[in-house]
Amino acid sequence: MPEYEGFVASLKEDGKAEVLIQPETPGIIGAPGASAKVCHCASNSSQVTLEALNPVQAAVGDRVAVEVKASVLLRNAGSLIGMPVLALALGWVVSLFLKDSYLFGMPITFFCIFSSLPLGVSGGVVLYKHWSRGNPPTITRVTQTRQEMAFTNIAFDPRP
């Protein structure tokens, strides 16, 4: 399961927390120096904020691990990629059965293929919204509290 590390930026009243995820090092996955934890950030100034369930009761400023279930990612990809492809294929198949027909002065084959893609994209978005609603990202553990981070920064201060 994909796991990201970030800081709790704020707490919500419904048992959720807003988590700020920043890369440890700049780069892109697969390239030298790429971040091991955040694959979608390419520079030190990049950051992603997400809303996650907070069952471990992490406090503001804590460094936390956020987990996203892999099955959710696969379903989301299936709905956002699979539905448009399926609709496009269905439009093409329907157009094969309706040869030499015209609708509003256009060949029906063009109309079927042309209109099937927007319908597939719309259907994919509706499925994505429905499926992603019940499985938000979850904070699985607190890797470092804000007090621990403050103590380690003071204890190992290189200044004289």
Residue range 16-66, pLDDT digits in tens: 899 888 765 554 444 444 444 445 555 556 677 888 889 998 888 888 988
User: Which domains does the chain possess?
Assistant: 3-69+136-154 (2.40.50.140), 71-133 (no CATH)
Q: Is 4 helix (H, G, I), strand (E, B) or coil?
A: strand
Local confidence band at 86 (pLDDT 50, 70, 90 cut-offs) = very high
Contact 5, 63 (CB under 8 A): yes
CA trace torsion 153, 155, 158, 160 (10° rounding): 130
Q: Tokens 């704020």 belong to which residue?
A: 10
